[in-house]
Amino acid sequence: MSSPDPIISVADYHMHTPLCKHAEGWPDEYALVAIEKNLAEIGFSDHNPMAGYFDDWRMADDEFPQYLDLISQSQNKFSDDIDICLGLECDFLPGQEAWIEKLTQRADFDYLIGSVHYLEPGWAVDDPDPKWASRWQGSIESIWHQYWTLYRQCAASGLFDFLAHPDLVKKFGHRPGGDLQRFYEPTIEVIAANNIAIEVSTAGLRKPCAEMYPSQDFLKLANQAGIPIVISSDAHRPEEVGADFGNAIKMAQTAGYCETARFKRRERRMEPLL
Ligand code: ZN
Ligand code: FE
Ligand code: FE
Ligand code: ZN
């Protein structure tokens, strides 16, 4: 008998499917990796459909039933091996709240993730297309300001159980000068006041910033404010499931965390971080 893997105490709730058109591998393949890595449980959270055409990075609204079917097939197939939750990663944009609310009533979700990718329709801060490179020039301070303003609105919307990749705006390494606490502190205050959790996402390690989302400073403040965390891979391919979770657990413990959040039917409970 081999000793249990330490990541057995953590879930990975942020994983995608090919329906979003930029992920590879079907849910069964992700589930097999999660079982192999001894994850406590997993959940799928593909990019939500929008009311009409919005971009090429998500399922269409008429594919939503197919998404639900895919996840329920994997749930049944692996029911003896691992719990598979149903989630959704929702793009928060002011004006979309009513759409998100209606959409998320169309299924029994275990949790909903709120994400800020878009500062405005048509421009996402994480879009690697070189055509956006010039946008950042001389504008890092105002882009950060806009990003965190939206992140606070996302937190305050009351729509979500946890928030994705807190400082995604650093993805390409663009950071304004000075102490970044001026962005973190007011954001943490809003998240804590709304009693929702945040992600520690290992995806940033695979991006140009080569850092977890959020930074260690942000996470320490979040812990002091009593904000719960989940640890997520944001896997867009099966081999990314549970990626770097050992490092994420260490980072969380360094920030003072000793538990992570679990979700079932949108109810949160805490489990010890071992
Ligand atoms: Zn994605
Ligand atoms: Fe995202
Ligand atoms: Fe994602
Ligand atoms: Zn994501």
Q: pLDDT for 102-150, tens place per residue?
A: 999 999 999 999 999 999 999 999 999 999 989 999 899 999 999 999 9
Task: For ligand 2, an ion, list residues with CB under 5 A.
Answer: 115, 164
77 C-alpha to ligand 3 centroid (Å): 24
Q: What are the distances in angstroms from CA 140 to CA 170, 181, 187?
A: 10, 15, 18
**48-78 burial: b if 16+ Cβ within 10 Å, else e:** bbbeeebeeebbebebbeebbebbeebbeeb
Say how many Å lie between the first and final Cα of the chain, rounded.
20
Which residues have C-beta within 8 Å of that of residue 103, sequence separation ≥ 6?
A: 48, 49, 64, 88, 90
Question: pLDDT digits over 46-92, tens only?
Answer: 999 999 999 999 999 999 999 999 999 999 999 999 999 999 999 99
225 C-alpha to ligand 4 centroid (Å): 24
Question: pLDDT digits over 113-126, tens only?
Answer: 999 999 999 999 99
pLDDT value for 5: 52
pTM of the entire structure?
0.96
Domain parsing of the chain, residue ranges: 8-272
Tally Cβ neighbours within 10 Å of residue 92: 23
2 C-alpha to ligand 3 centroid (Å): 32
Question: pLDDT digits over 233-250, tens only?
Answer: 999 999 999 999 999 999
Question: pLDDT digits over 199-242, tens only?
Answer: 999 999 999 999 999 999 999 999 999 999 999 999 999 999 99
CATH (residue range 8-272) = 3.20.20.140
Residue 152 has pLDDT above 50, yes or no: yes
